[in-house]
Every structure is written in structure tokens, then in C-alpha cells.
Structure 1
Amino acid sequence: MMHIDCAIIGGGPAGLSAALVLGRSRRHVLLFDDNRPRNAVTRESHGFITRDGVKPSEFRAIAHQDIARYPSVTVKSQRVTEVRHSGRGSFHVRTGDGIVYHSRTIILAAGLKESLPAVPQIQDYYGKSLFSCPYCDGWELRDKPLVVIGESGSHAVSLAKFVYNWSKDLVVCTNGRQVLTQEQLAMFARKGIRVQSQRIRALKGSGGQLQSVQFEDGSEIKRAGGFVSPKWRHAIDFGEKLGCAMNEHGGLVKDEYGRTTVRGVYAAGDGALITPAQLIIAAGDGSRAALGVNGDIVNEDFDR
């Protein structure tokens, strides 16, 4: 059984950043990455200084080159299937090929998975002309005729307010759900935001570029893109199984250095933050979790 200082579960920006910091801290680290990133449909990532507009695959390749300079860090292209307490203040990490690793600490950085609204063909457009984050993709859609699709009233209202910053030509679609109050409808009307509560029959376009939205009664509106409000869930449930507390947003409770409520378990990235889900924020969160891991190991070893 291999003994390591830290097992990082998740090879996105949070996990990669954590691996870099721990490698430079001379820690023996395994980074587990099954190469199924949430942003696989994304053509470009935005908002990361020096990397604005970078392809996610390019970002990962550059990060792997950076990490490769540190011999104590190993990237494993394996899916972790189980994490459990070893009974000695550390953890056993089992992968899909049956190998078990013994680690002093764990960083949970596997991020989130999303469930999109129940709209036909929505996957064909998601990541190309329909997105979830206006900070990430609002600039590219500025001043275009846009749609906001949200099946939860509070989420639809919040998303529409933000999207309005980039485009005033806006239609909010609740996809057959009566989720908006009279006050919310009046607020939208004052801003010139149209609301369509009919169920969406089809999205129309070509090559992932949205051109129109068709409703059950046959009516249709021309739209050049838009934003959707997904439901988020953890990509893995190891934190909950290990007994980590959850916050009111569904993320893992943690302190400023990623420490969860379970000793030796740290969390970083979207799975802890939930929102905002941005590349640069996740990377910074991974760095802070790595500082927490190394600081705790330093103190523990020095005091022996």
C-alpha cells in the first residue's frame, strides 16, 4: 500500500492548483483525475487573468506541465471509488482498478455536476450559445437578444437581473411552471423584460448556435443565445459519507484554509463554494486548501 501525504480527488482548477502548491511544499501527493470535467462542453474559459479565452483542454495541459516539474506529485488517471477512515487518523483511498492508497489527508476537489432544465435539445446548445454563468460568457453575448430559462422563481429572477447587465433584450422562460409572483412579474415589466410561462417545445438553431425558441402553442421568439439555471449536485458524495457537515447552499462547510468539520479532510473548488463557479476562484480555493494541508502537517510533525 502506497503511503502519501495528500490524496487530491478531482483534477479541475482547484485540484490542480492544490497539487502545485503541495508539490512545491515537498509533499508526496496523488492527484486523481478521471478526466470527466464539468466544463467539457465549454469551448473557452473566461475571467482568469493571463488565460482569458483559453480552451479548458489547453488550461489543463499547461497545468499538467507545471505540476510535472515536481517529482513528489503524481497524477493518476483513475476514478476514486471509495474513501474511508483507516482508524489511525488517516484514510484509505480505493480506485476503480482495486488499488488502495494510504493518505494522511484528503482534498475533495471533484466539483459539481449539473441538471439542466427539462427542455428538448438543450444539450445541443449548452456550452455553445446557452450558458450558466454570465460572468463567464456574458461579454460574448452582450447586446444580443437573449433568453433566460429557469424553472425556479428565485433562481430565474436572480439570473435575469445579472444577465440584464449584458443585454436589455431579454425574455425569461419558466418552461411551463408558474413560479413568478405578481411583484416579480411587475418588476420585469418595468424593465421591459418579457416573461413566457409556456412550456418550451423546441430550441431551434444550427451547430449549437441558438436562433429561436418555440413554445407549445406554436409561437416562436427569435433569440441568439442565453442562460439557463441548472440544479447543482456534488460530483462525488465522499464528503457526506465521511461525515462532513454541509452548508445551507449544499456545499461542504469549511474554514478559510479548506478544513472541513472532519479532521484531515479538506475541500476546495465548486463543491465547497457552490457559487460563484469560476475558474479563477476555484483555483484560488485549491491553493488555500493546500496551504491548510501543508500547515497542519508541518505543525503536527514539528510537535512530535
Structure 2
Amino acid sequence: MFDCIIIGGGPAGLNAALVLGRAKRKVLLLDENKPRNAVTHASHGFLTRDGIEPSAFKEAAYADLRKYPNIEWTQVRVGAMTKEQSGFSVQTEKKETYHARKILLATGLKDHLPDIAGIESFYGSSLFPCPFCDGWELRDRPLVVICEDERVLHSGKLIWNWSKDLVICTNGQRFLTDEQKKPFLANGIEIIEEEITALEGEDGQLQNIRFADGQEINRKGGFVAVDLQQAAAFGKALGCTYNEQGGIKTDPFGRTSVAGVYASGDTTFNGPQQLILAAAEGSKVGAGIVIDLVEEEF
């Protein structure tokens, strides 16, 4: 019987494992190893780790966890989990069964890209979802913002911070009013509402955008608004409550609506999806689980 089984080996799950392990707790981390940032060449904004490759970050994290013999982990996909009288049962797709007093869901999110020909070739190389993560590398270049809804009213202004040579593309969606367009046009930001027929370039580097009306523009990178979806449905299977954004609802220490089930990181939709924030939340939730275990035992 483990004190806690953690599902997901991203920064939230890894940091929670470290905190739990240092509290002398018996921990099992189950990681499918299909991270959302697999397409990313480097992660930014994490002090002492700025620019690190995601795979190198994970390798360094496991090096830290190896110091603690009470922390175990394995690369496997979880098939199902059930609540039992004494805790939880977790079954993997390899037909293994593990038992734990607590469950931490740190399964993260997955990106759903706009339906544009060729976009996958550039995503993570010259098209990104977050300017705080990758804006510095694209600074002052001719950039594009691809957004099919009113999120562009925020993202268009924000990305203007990194480059004044900016074009907004709504991919055929005509939702902006003339009044909404005015401040963008006044700041030299072109708005193209025609459907995008193709993104072109080489080796992941965007060079050209084609539109249905025959127009073409040259861009050297940019940002795209993605739809975020839960990477796994374990929260629903266990009966957890979800918030309006589609994240698992938690209190400040990661407790969900189901006793003994916790959630941390991007899967909670509690703010921007950034490496350092997910790791910090994992640390806090790990401490919360320790507190609850001690309260039960004392």
C-alpha cells in the first residue's frame, strides 16, 4: 500500500513526488511519458533552468528523486482506478494493480490546434501558444497571431509587447466589430479575416501564409490560440467536480470534491500553463497531502 500514487510525470507530479518523498512517504509515480511540451525544443521562465530541453528537465528531476528510496516510478499508461474502503486501486494497461491511500491527478492538458493545413509542422518550432514562454526568441520579428475567437482582443495586444510588426489572422471568422478593430489598426496591426489555406516554410520555420482570396504574407513566426482539453478523464471517472474552464476543481492544497483525490498542475486550469507554476503547485499540493496523512494518523 502506497501513501500516494501520482498519475502524471510533468513538473507538478514530479515536484509533488519530491515533497512527499522527503516527508518519508511511500510514493509511486505512474507516467505515460507523453507530455504536452514534447514538441517544444526549450522551456523558459524557470529560474536556474531557463532554456532547458523538456527531456533534460525530466531527466534532472528523476535524478533528484533517485535520492529517496521510498519514491518509485514506472513508465506506463493507467487504464482505470477505483475507490475502495481503504483507499484506491489503480490498474495499468499492463494489467498491474497498485493500491494507495491517496491519489494525485497531475495528468495535464493536450492542445487542439486550429484546422489549418501544415500547422503541425511549425507548432513548437516557430508557432507557439504562450508569449511568456517563447516571446523573447521571436522578439522584433514579423509575427502572426492566429486566433479564431475573441481571445485575440487580449492576445493581440499582449504579443504586441514583443513585436510591433504584427498581423492578426482570424482564419475566416468575422467576429471583430469595427470598434474592436480600431485600437489594433491605430497601433499598426493588420487584421486579416480571410481563411488560411496553407502555412509554408522549412525545417519548422514559418515563412509564408496563404489565404483563400489568393493573398499571401511573409511572417517569421508567431502565436496561435489553442483549445485546451484534459489529457485524461480520471477525474470524471472518480466523480470529481470541474470548474467553468473545464479543470478539476480544487481547494488551495489540491483537494478535490472526492475525499482522498487531489489534483495539481495544468489539469486544474488554475492559471497560466507554465512550467514553473505547475512545479510550484505540485510542491504545495504535495505538502497538502502530507498534512492530511498526518492528521489522519495522529
3-state SS, counterpart of residue 30 of structure 1: strand
Q: 1:149 aligns with which of 142, 146, 157?
A: 146
Name the structure 2 match of 1:214. 210
Cα RMSD, aligned residues only: 1.0
Asked whether the equivalents of residues 31 and 74 of structure 1 are also in contact (C-alpha less than 8 Å), the reply is yes
Q: What per-residue deviation string (whole Å, max 9, x for no partner) do you get for residues 185-213 of structure 1?
A: 12211222111111111111110001111
Aligned equivalent of 1:294:
290
Q: Secondary structure at the match of 1:204?
A: strand
Q: State the TM-score, normalizing by the size of structure 2.
A: 0.98
Code of the residue aligned with 1:160 in structure 2: it is G
Q: Deviations for 1:213-242, whole angstroms, at most 9, x for unmatched residues?
A: 111122111100000000001000111221
Q: Report the counterpart of residue 228 of structure 2 in structure 1.
A: 232
Deviations 1:76-120 (A, max 9, x none): 11111112111x151111101111111110111010001001111
> Residue deviations 1:169-191, cap 9 Å, x none?
11111111112222221221122
Q: 1:249 aligns with which of 245, 248, 265?
A: 245
How many residue pairs match? The answer is 298
CA distance in 1, matches of 2:93, 2:270: 27
Structure 1 gap ranges (5+): none
| 2:29 aligns with one of 28, 31, 34 | 31
Find the partner of 2:266 among 259, 266, 270. 270
Distance of aligned partners of 1:89 and 1:158 in 2 relative to their CA distance in 1, 3 Å threshold: farther
Q: Which amino acid aligns with 1:93?
A: V
Q: Structure 2 residue aligned with 1:139, among 107, 131, 136? A: 136
Distance apart, 1:245 and its partner CA? 1.1
Q: Take 1:299 and 1:279, find their aligned partners in 2: how far apart are those partners?
A: 31
CA contact (8 A) 1:14 1:268 kept: yes
Partner of 2:11: 13
Aligned to 1:106: 103
Q: Matched residues, percent identical? A: 52
Give the distance between the partners of 2:141 and 2:68, measured in 1 at CA: 46
Q: Relative to structure 2, which stretch is displaced further, 132-141 or 239-248?
A: 239-248
Pick the aligned partner of 2:119 from 117, 122, 125.
122
- AA at the equivalent of 1:294: V
Distance in 1 (CA, whole Å) between partners of 2:280 and 2:58 is 15
Q: Contact 1:250–1:274 at 8 Å: present in 2 too?
A: no
Residue 152 of structure 1, CA deviation:
1.4
Of 53, 56, 80, 1:55 maps to 53
Give the aligned partner of residue 182 of structure 1.
178
Query: Which amino acid in the other structure matches residue 204 of structure 1?
Result: E
TM-score norm. by structure 1 comes to 0.96
Deviations 1:124-170 (A, max 9, x none): 000000000000000111111100001112x2222112111111111
**1:274, distance to aligned residue in structure 2 (A):** 5.4
Partner Cα distance (1:142, 1:274) in 2: 28
Residues 56-75 of structure 1 aligned to structure 2 (within 5 Å): 56-75=54-73
* 1:165 matches 2:161: yes
- Residues of 1 paired with 2:62 and 2:42: CA distance? 18
Supply the distance in 2 between the matched residues of 1:107 and 1:262 (Cα, whole angstroms): 11
2:210 alignment partner, SS class: strand
